[in-house]
Chain A
């Protein structure tokens, strides 16, 4: 059994009477690619925000890299990377300035930033564009850059909130190559998505319906259990019973 990096135990978030996330429990191992699926409004983003320390849980327990989400949010912040649903680089800064800025707020040294930046730019084939403003880049490049920036400080876990929204299939494939490379380096990937083809790329997948985790297993096992040909069918079988509509 590999080292556990994310551990959630009956984690719950209530907004007044509304239970956004209802007693979810799961564990994610180091280097795992964990897919977090669910329809819009199922509670994915809320769950993820609790794990990142952006949102205080109403009840339940959770630890990230061994740190408690209630008391040790500062430690957690040092150990995670985050890429949000909507693209989050500064459009009026250049590629290089964005990298330097985000690396800087994680307290990386000048030398480390310089070295990492060079490697990253080469890997993304962006060396020629290092002094271009980010707003001039195509969306797919921006997203790949945002991901690379999120893992620049080598976090234990990186949280990706629907990172590939609005991107063409080719770029999505390239994006997933980056995710695999990161996972091989031992970075745990926690990714929400509603592209079912992407769910197939994950080591394990959890499917949330109405604030609860209804299924959690590898894509192969899920397909077998639900007697389905694709993850799409698995998802539809589960989501059909949902009472909540999209937010």
Chain B
């Protein structure tokens, strides 16, 4: 135990003496989450929209007025024909075009059903989702008011078309995503680099000649990074809640527990990498290529896994981040309990055990 304390203390010396790295470790999550956060919540106030009103009746004008009156939209352009829609988008100022067909009010009153077309510039998909949702909400409000006045329900069905990027990503994805990314980076890469560094500066040789137990050495390497990763989880959560308004709907302790589980999986990955690499650079490159890249591409928060080709869907199952991403989404965003995520948690436990078993058996107590 005394040996263990000495080892862990030494690891913390290494970490705290390396101010630059420490600063990066502490600040990276904050910067990342803010970057992702603002990319998502990009200025949806006072978006310029255009209307093409073939109906020009009471219903369509009311809706247009309401859109204009809301704090989200400015009706800045009145179009005269379908051909002008494309041109309006090409100016780059218009985010949404609302099209009313001829006889909008009539079909609403007589068939109880009318259509509004919402055409969005989805080259910025996040903004496109947001503006169409807001517009649809305003239209729905109007529809509800009509319902109050009459017996029969009227339905205005907003038809949404996404231009330029028909497959849209969901929102709220980035907080769990950034969490997975940061933890993989800090916990896995840093642990592997810290162990491989001992090989590179030759202290490993001296440690192997000493009576030190390899298991103790490995655990002592992992502990500081587990601790730092937990600090990162907490910062990410604080920034998400305070700055971005992403709520923690589920149990915070369950969330932290799951984060700890994922950290342990990441550390195990780092340990495994350290068993077959010889230089810090090698360990870093492998961590980036083999861990960060799959996390980004197959983790499910950049590109939806459901729309991937089947082989990639199958491969995505061995990416730990995918499971952690599901867990965080379920617990943090949807507010579900452990019963909803126990399968995913079990997968992570299994992965950790498997990786640790490999690392411990491959850790060389002899050099040759």
The residue of chain B having its C-beta at the shortest distance from the C-beta of A159 within the complex is: B209
Choice from A54, A97, A102 contacting B366 with Cβ under 8 Å? A54
Q: Does A88 contact B (CB under 8 A)?
A: yes
Task: Evaluate contact between B10 and A97: CB separation under 8 angstroms.
Answer: yes
Task: Evaluate contact between B211 and A54: CB separation under 8 angstroms.
Answer: no
Give the CA-CA distance A71 to B67 in the complex, in Å. 83
* Known contacts A15-B368, A49-B367, A90-B10: A107-B209 contact under CB 8 Å: no
Task: Evaluate contact between B202 and A87: CB separation under 8 angstroms.
Answer: yes
- Chain A interface bracket (under 10, 10 to 19, 20 to 34, 35 or more): 35 or more
Residues of A contacting B138 in the complex (Cβ-Cβ under 8 angstroms): none
Residues of A contacting B3 in the complex (Cβ-Cβ under 8 angstroms): 104-105, 107
Task: Evaluate contact between A82 and B205: CB separation under 8 angstroms.
Answer: yes
Residues of A contacting B366 in the complex (Cβ-Cβ under 8 angstroms): 53-56
The residue of chain B having its C-beta at the shortest distance from the C-beta of A80 within the complex is: B209
B323-361 vs A, CB cutoff 8 Å, 1 = contact: the mask equals 000000000000000000000000000000000000000
Task: Evaluate contact between B2 and A104: CB separation under 8 angstroms.
Answer: yes
Q: Does A101 contact B (CB under 8 A)?
A: yes
Give the CA-CA distance A222 to B206 in the complex, in Å. 33
Number of interface residues of B (CB under 8 A): 23
A46-65 vs B, CB cutoff 8 Å, 1 = contact: the mask equals 10010011111000000000
Chain-A contact segment, one of B13-21, B171-179, B270-278 = B13-21
A residues 122-163 touching B (CB-CB < 8 Å)? 133, 150, 159
Give the CA-CA distance A97 to B2 in the complex, in Å. 15
Q: Does A74 contact B (CB under 8 A)?
A: yes
The residue of chain A having its C-beta at the shortest distance from the C-beta of B204 within the complex is: A88
Q: Is the interface of A mostly helix, strand, loop or mixed?
A: mixed
The residue of chain B having its C-beta at the shortest distance from the C-beta of A101 within the complex is: B10
* Known contacts A77-B210, A101-B10: A88-B368 contact under CB 8 Å: no
Q: Is the interface of B mostly helix, strand, loop or mixed?
A: helix
**Distance (whole angstroms) from the CB of A164 to the closest CB of chain B:** 16
Give the CA-CA distance A51 to B2 in the complex, in Å. 28
Q: Does B70 contact A (CB under 8 A)?
A: no
Give the CA-CA distance A84 to B212 in the complex, in Å. 17
Q: Does B207 contact A (CB under 8 A)?
A: yes
**Distance (whole angstroms) from the CB of B93 to the closest CB of chain A:** 55
4 closest A-B pairs (Cβ-Cβ)?
A104-B6, A82-B209, A92-B17, A77-B211
Q: A107-B2, A133-B17 given. 6 additional CB < 8 A pairs?
A: A49-B367, A53-B366, A55-B367, A77-B211, A86-B201, A102-B206
A-B contact pairs, 18 of them (CB 8 A): A56-B368, A77-B211, A83-B206, A84-B205, A88-B201, A90-B203, A91-B201, A92-B14, A93-B14, A101-B6, A102-B206, A104-B3, A104-B7, A105-B6, A106-B211, A107-B3, A133-B17, A150-B206
Binding site for B on A (CB under 8 A): 15, 46, 49, 52-56, 74, 77-78, 80, 82-93, 97, 100-102, 104-107, 133, 150, 159
